[in-house]
Amino acid sequence: MKNIAQLILMLSIILLASCQQKKSDPASIIEQKVDSVLKLMTLEEKIGQMVLYTSDWDITGPTLKKGYLEDIKNGHCGNIFNAHTTAYVHKLQKIAVEESRLGIPLLFGYDVIHGHKTIFPISLGESASWDLVAIENGARVAAIEAAASGLNWTFAPMVDISVDPRWGRVSEGAGEDPFLGSRIAEARVRGFQGKDNNLADTLTLLACVKHFAAYGAPQAGRDYNTVDMSQRVFLDTYLPPYKAAIDAGAMSVMTSFNELDGVPASGSKYLLTDLLRGKLGFKGLVVTDHTSINEMVNHGVADNDAEAGLLAVKAGVDMDMQGEVFFKYLKKQVDDGLVEEKLIDEAVRRVLRVKFMLGLFDDPYKYCNEAREKQLVYAPEHLEAALDMAKKSMVLLKNNNNVLPLKKGEKIAVIGELAASTRDLLGSWKAAGDWDFMKSTLDELKLYNGEKNIFFAEGCKTIGNDRSGFTQAMATARKAEKIVLVIGENWDWSGEAASRTNIKIPGVQTELLEKLKALNKPIIVVLMNGRPLDLTRENELADALLETWYAGTMGGKAITQVLYGEYNPSGKLTMTFPMNVGQIPLYYNAKNTGRPIYLPNDKDKYKSKYIDSPNDPLFPFGYGLSYTTFAYSDIKLSSNELAAKGDLKATVRVTNTGKYDGEEVVQLYVRDLVGSVTRPVKELKGFEKIRLKAGESKVVTFTITPDMLAFHRLDMTYGTEPGDYKLFMGGNSRDVKEAGFKLK
């Protein structure tokens, strides 16, 4: 039963809005409604809207910590995360709407990163598809299923650029490149929030761009560690994907755990107010990462939580995730005059604004329709989309003597713990993904090739040094014509708090590969992992290497279809795979240095190189093979000059020279040869994924405009500089055709 205050609230919203109908654009109507609610709120209720608490899970399902239900009732908690299922969300929303004084509905957030129930490949894997339509659709499916399960807010997309595979969270991002990362960030926002950012649509979610900012550059790849970089690198390399996501309409941003230039992000007025709201024009809400306000005490910029809270609110934080800092201290701080209530009003306005945009005041239960949940979760078209994306995400790293694709009916030994695993296929942030529902790679291989043609042995565990299964693995392999060895990292070896100092395949898996090699049978290594690994040894031993990441709910089927050539692999790496951990950070868009080497065996000692390792990566950015081959013609330019307001067309003919139909990602890079500051040796500026039948060729054209060449110049202004440029086109960042032009 609604109480009188709630009725007054609803009436005053309606009245105010209808009195001011002259200003009838939807945005200003929302502003009027926000104002009308704000006027009714006590300071405590306002602070309640700035509070986000987690739901726990036990064997009975979602539950709340003691006290949180009361907090919702009292208006002390306006937002919940980690709670889902329509029934539970309905229960909590009912308390907020019917039992709190003003009846303001709750936001329900969750880490819906690469699917909700139907899980897609991990984000790094999705990025390797270079298929923006499929990536957008993946986010769309995730939003539909999550919204059908009661949620209205996802903590995604994660757009942190990273060049350090020791950092476990590279699995959650889109790799090392700002251009590709930006396009993917936009695609994901469109997918979550819907094409026209219609948050009121019951099947869209509020997106949350994270982690602002530069979280992907922790020193030594150790999670949560210090970030320190030049302002120029920050603006040119790390900022673009956040900006792209905000320009695409993302209405929430999450702060990062790290400091940047000595200031923790959750207390950085520069990041949250001057840059994000000022320069980038962001109008949505800023939520902290989990207890990152409190962590400012450990960072050493505040004496205690209360002081940290002041830093955060003054920097521009609107919502405290789980820290209980605003809840405990903010009211007294306003009463004591330490912070102006005006600032609180601004924060609450931003929270209420998104609640209105989501349509929660019109229908707080709009996400709680059990019939819809049943109909949409695991819908056949969602599983189909997950299968499609899983296949597109896989990267063929090596395929000597065309050992792949496998032929139906061949006797195959499948070895490795990961082959029989379903949980690992889901990767980290599996949301509500359910591995009991799934088939493993082994199950799918048996289904495709027949039980009698697949022999399985675990061989060894993914982690640990138990070799007792080796003998059986050898015996199993002896019976087969080819060996498929499925190795890599367990799912929880990447993601948050999963940094490594050694990025080789863990345990004794490589030793098992060495043993199997002695059998002189073709060995196909199927990799499951969430980061670039040092695969130098595996590359020496295996005949084929297929990178499958953690491929999601349909992963087993996708791996099978790729291995048997039902799908011709087309994925390309979005992070460089180094030869060894000591080369890190290793990325394609590096600087030339004053002492570059142009040949790997350069004899001059005083060059920028190692005495114990080449500089080159094992597999460069943009790299990935196909069962067919592609040839590139020389580049044709429409002109050798690009006018300051003009454009230039660069064309290349790509021919499928092999026996299979296939897809190729045609990549465009440029290099600014002389600048007021040093410039990268290559920068991705465009790409197009094309499909070519065997023998077919296509002309691919890119239009280059001066704005694509802009950067932060010596005086920190953003723009171009006239001069000579190189332009490259090819199927990866290393093997390219080259041309040159002059920017006037």
Closest CA to 159 of 192, 118, 199: 192
Q: Is 289 a catalytic residue?
A: yes
In the DSSP assignment, the letter for residue 507 is T
* Residue nearest ligand NOJ, Cβ-based: 155
Considering the complex, what minimum distance in angstroms separates the CB of residue 215 from ligand NOJ? 8
Residues 478-507 within binding reach of ligand NOJ (CB under 6 A): 496
Q: Count residues contacting ligand NOJ (CB under 6 A)? A: 6
Considering the complex, what minimum distance in angstroms separates the CB of residue 182 from ligand NOJ? 20
Using CB under 6 A, pick the residue from 160, 201, 289, 417 that binds ligand NOJ. Answer: 289
Report the SS3 class of residue 92.
helix
Considering the complex, what minimum distance in angstroms separates the CB of residue 291 from ligand NOJ? 9
How far is it, in rounded angstroms, from Cα 114 to Cα 388? 14
Q: Which is nearer to ligand NOJ, 221 or 569 (CB)?
A: 221
Q: Which is nearer to ligand NOJ, 290 or 353 (CB)?
A: 290
Considering the complex, what minimum distance in angstroms separates the CB of residue 189 from ligand NOJ? 16
DSSP 657-668: -SSS-EEEEEEE
Q: Given phi > 0 = left and psi -120 to 50 = alpha, else beta, which region is 591? A: beta
Residue 244: partners with Cβ closer than 8 Å, 6 or more residues away: 159, 181, 182, 183, 185, 186
- What spatial distance separates the first Cα and last Cα of the chain, rounded to whole Å? 71
Q: Which is nearer to ligand NOJ, 82 or 369 (CB)?
A: 82
How far is it, in rounded angstroms, from Cα 404 to Cα 395? 13
**Residues 289, 388, 534, 543: which is the catalytic one?**
289
Note whether 84 binds ligand NOJ by CB under 6 A.
no
- Give me the 192-211 binding string for ligand NOJ, x by CB under 6 A, dash otherwise: ------------------x-
How far is it, in rounded angstroms, from Cα 378 to Cα 331? 45
Note whether 290 binds ligand NOJ by CB under 6 A.
yes
Q: Is residue 135 a contact partner of residue 106, using CB atoms and an 8 Å limit?
A: no
Q: Which is nearer to ligand NOJ, 167 or 669 (CB)?
A: 167
Residues 93-132 within binding reach of ligand NOJ (CB under 6 A): 111
Q: Which is nearer to ligand NOJ, 317 or 704 (CB)?
A: 317
How far is it, in rounded angstroms, from Cα 244 to Cα 189? 9
Considering the complex, what minimum distance in angstroms separates the CB of residue 574 from ligand NOJ? 19
Closest CA to 87 of 377, 364, 366, 368: 368
Q: Which is nearer to ligand NOJ, 224 or 435 (CB)?
A: 224
Considering the complex, what minimum distance in angstroms separates the CB of residue 622 from ligand NOJ? 27
Considering the complex, what minimum distance in angstroms separates the CB of residue 155 from ligand NOJ? 3
Tokens of residue 224, six digits: 């949560």
- Give me the 582-621 binding string for ligand NOJ, x by CB under 6 A, dash otherwise: ----------------------------------------
Using CB under 6 A, pick the residue from 155, 212, 327, 627 that binds ligand NOJ. Answer: 155
Note whether 188 binds ligand NOJ by CB under 6 A.
no
Q: Which is nearer to ligand NOJ, 296 or 419 (CB)?
A: 296
DSSP 381-428: HHHHHHHHHHHHH-EEEEEGGG--S--TT--EEEE-GGGG-SGGGG-S
Residue 95's alpha-carbon distances to 91, 150, 161, 533, in angstroms, are 7, 15, 40, 49
Q: Where are the alpha helices (DSSP H) in 530-639?
A: 536-541, 555-563
Q: Which residues bind ligand NOJ (CB under 6 A)?
A: 111, 155, 210, 289-290, 496
By annotation, the residues acting in catalysis are 289
